[in-house]
Amino acid sequence: MAFSSEPSWVKEFTERSENMVRRYENHASIVMWSLGNEYGNGINFKSDAAAVKKLDATRPTHYEGNSSYCDVTSYMSPDVQWLERVGTERLQTFQTGEPVTPHVVCEYAH
């Protein structure tokens, strides 16, 4: 089980992100808050994202790993077929009129 799904870790997840926001909230170069990467998509991110939004609702949240709790998602080093599938899914969602979560590619080429 990923730590992000372990209820006993919710406090640690939330406090880590709260500390990040408090430490960097006045930096002009911060455009969105990252909740991390490669922890899975567990329920702990729901509390984590809510805590960040409570401290700073002006910036979007991001998580690498397609988190359903964040405003922006990404995936490290996807292959072309995976990226095409995600793009097609998001386009179909957009065409229904439902909100679409922006997706960025990170670490595509090393």
Q: Catalytic residue positions?
A: 38, 107
Distance CA 35, CA 37 (A): 7
27/33 Cα distance (integer angstroms): 12
How many CB atoms lie under 10 A from the CB of residue 3?
14
Sequence-distant (≥ 6) Cβ neighbours of residue 76 within 8 angstroms: 37, 38, 64, 106, 107
